[in-house]
């Protein structure tokens, strides 16, 4: 059997699959986020490790007879986070996460000091990436920066705790702005622009390769054999792609988790940084991918539910009762609760409801939230088209994949068939388990097959026309917001 661990922002999830690829068990443990100052988002890496211990204990109780048959572990996780370790392996400060936007000024600094950045890293300097975070630490916490011996990404901290090895994979490393994405190797010049060298970096492995072996003491504590291998793994989106079989050029999917992603597989490095499209390595050798990224997606729905004292199941049922006329009259929602990446690269963008009246109710505002996220995906699709990527259909994964209403809305807004898969909500954890299977010698075609289709959603022409008109106004609202900031 094969274990997959996915270190998300709001939870750590673990799954076990067997050699037929069947999902045998799945558990999750919640994680808290700290926001000590405006634009700051942090977590304590020790909390990740404690949550990992709890999910392992729960999985063991689910599979008591089969547990020791686990041969390999794969890792997936939130990208871009900065875990700073001293020479002795001590955590120097809380991890700065992907949706932390404090380092906007450092993005300008990096762009000026590394003119090769866009060509080599394939991406704009954005506050979410890892490199600007280290420049911020160097400027504002110089004592911490001086003590930093190693910079690890979140999932790679778990690997280090499990194995004692400091390793990252290509897909996650591509999100640091320190990787030469075409060459799949660290860039000495980009590291130097941040006052770092290769000595600060983990070694690199492909996601489907063996990167380390579980330490004997951890294996004993977890009740596993002492020869369990750990695959390179992948950043959460690349791992999710492996989980739903998006491994060949032309494959694409939408992920609706804390953030929102439109992901397309490429057979070569195809950057389009001017439109804030991300170009990264895939978690598999000789493959790359493009992504448009929204910083707020399913988390906008959670935020709204908390605001109005509802839950997602109840609210989605209320939204489903709205007729087309009510949808046309619903307010518009800008989903920029944490700023935005694609296509705006704007850490100062804010969320907003527009055009509320006395008749506006909870369901109408809830619909506006779903629609606003769908419109953000349309923005992403459009700039990916400018980069030469044409999508024919998209799979839908992540927590948002549980909502048929949202899936249909995505299909209508994007004017694309959208399909959901059995087990698609397992996301990165399933992909991580598959990468573990590959590292253990699994056959690529068998391991990376597409899961069975659960539902298919086709664009509705009437809804598409209505959404096109609302999209025009929605985009104007953001431009008005930008204009007001310059007054």
Residue 468 and residue 478: Cα distance in Å, rounded? 16
Which residues are within 8 A (CB) of 390 and not within 5 positions of it... i.e. 6 or more apart? none
Compute φ and ψ for 241, nearest 5 degrees. -60, -45
Q: If DSSP codes are grouped into helix, strand and coil, which group holds residue 476? A: helix
The verdict on whether omega for the bond into residue 97 sits within 30 degrees of 0, i.e. cis, is no
Residue set of the binding site for substrate: 79-80
How far, in whole angstroms, is CA 33 from its chain's centroid? 16
- Which of 236, 251, 346, 412 is catalytic? The answer is 236
d(CA 172, CA 236): 8
Strands 2-7 and 72-77: parallel
- To the nearest 10°, the Cα dihedral for 326, 329, 330, 333? 150
Are 79 and 177 a contacting pair, CB within 8 Å? Answer: no
415 in catalytic set: no
Q: What is the DSSP letter of 263?
A: E
3-state secondary structure of 104: helix
Task: Kindly tell me the number of DSSP H helices and DSSP E strands found in the chain.
Answer: 18, 24
Structure-block tokens of residue 156: 């790679």
Coil, helix or strand at residue 129: coil
**CB proximity list for 230: less than 8 A, separation 6 or greater:** 72, 73, 74, 75, 159, 162, 163, 165, 210, 211, 212, 213, 214, 436, 439
Question: Do strands 11-17 and 83-85 pair parallel, antiparallel, or not at all (unpaired)?
Answer: unpaired
Active site positions, annotated? 236
């Amino acid at each position: 059997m094969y274990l997959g661990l996915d270190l998300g922002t709001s939870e750590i999830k673990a799954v076990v699959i067997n050699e037929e690829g069947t999902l045998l068990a799945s558990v999750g443990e919640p994680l808290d986020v700290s926001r000590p100052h405006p634009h700051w988002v942090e977590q304590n890496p020790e909390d990740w490790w404690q949550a990992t211990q709890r999910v392992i204990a729960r999985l063991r109780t689910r599979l008591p007879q089969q547990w020791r048959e686990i041969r390999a572990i794969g890792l997936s996780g939130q990208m871009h986070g900065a875990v700073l370790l001293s020479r002795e392996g001590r955590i120097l400060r809380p991890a700065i996460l992907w949706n932390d936007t404090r380092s906007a000024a450092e993005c300008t600094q990096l762009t000026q000091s590394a003119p090769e950045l866009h060509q080599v890293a394939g991406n704009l300097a954005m506050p979410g990436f890892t490199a600007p975070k280290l420049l911020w630490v160097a400027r504002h916490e110089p004592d911490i920066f001086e003590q930093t011996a190693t910079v690890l990404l979140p999932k790679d901290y778990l690997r280090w705790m499990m194995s004692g090895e400091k390793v990252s994979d290509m897909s996650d490393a591509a999100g640091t702005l320190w990787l030469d994405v075409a060459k799949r190797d660290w860039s000495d010049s980009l590291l130097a622009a941040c006052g770092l060298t290769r000595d600060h970096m983990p070694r690199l492995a492909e996601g489907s390769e063996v990167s380390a072996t579980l330490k004997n003491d951890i294996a004993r504590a977890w009740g596993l054999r002492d020869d369990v291998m750990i695959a390179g793994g992948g950043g959460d989106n690349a791992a999710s792609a492996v989980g739903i079989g998006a491994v060949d050029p032309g494959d694409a999917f939408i992920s609706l988790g804390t953030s929102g992603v439109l992901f397309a597989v490429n057979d070569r490095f195809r950057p389009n940084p001017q439109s804030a499209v991300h170009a990264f390595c895939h978690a598999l050798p000789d493959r790359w991918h493009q992504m448009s990224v929204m910083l707020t997606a399913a988390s906008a729905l959670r935020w709204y539910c908390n605001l109005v004292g509802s839950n997602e199941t109840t609210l989605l049922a209320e939204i489903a009762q709205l007729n087309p006329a009510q949808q046309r009259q619903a307010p518009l929602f800008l989903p920029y609760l944490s700023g935005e990446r694609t296509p705006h690269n704007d850490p100062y963008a804010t969320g907003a409801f527009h055009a509320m009246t006395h008749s506006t109710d909870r369901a109408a505002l809830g619909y506006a939230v779903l629609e606003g996220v769908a419109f953000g995906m349309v923005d992403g699709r459009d700039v990916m088209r400018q980069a030469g990527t044409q999508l024919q259909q998209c799979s839908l994964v992540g927590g948002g994949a549980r909502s048929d209403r949202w899936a249909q809305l995505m299909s209508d807004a994007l004017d694309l068939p959208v399909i959901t898969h059995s087990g698609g909500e397992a996301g990165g954890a399933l992909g991580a388990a598959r990468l573990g299977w590959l590292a253990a010698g699994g056959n690529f075609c068998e391991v990376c097959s597409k899961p069975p289709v659960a539902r298919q959603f086709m664009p509705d022409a009437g809804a598409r026309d209505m959404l096109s008109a609302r999209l025009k106004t929605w985009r104007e609202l953001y431009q008005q917001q930008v204009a007001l900031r310059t007054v």
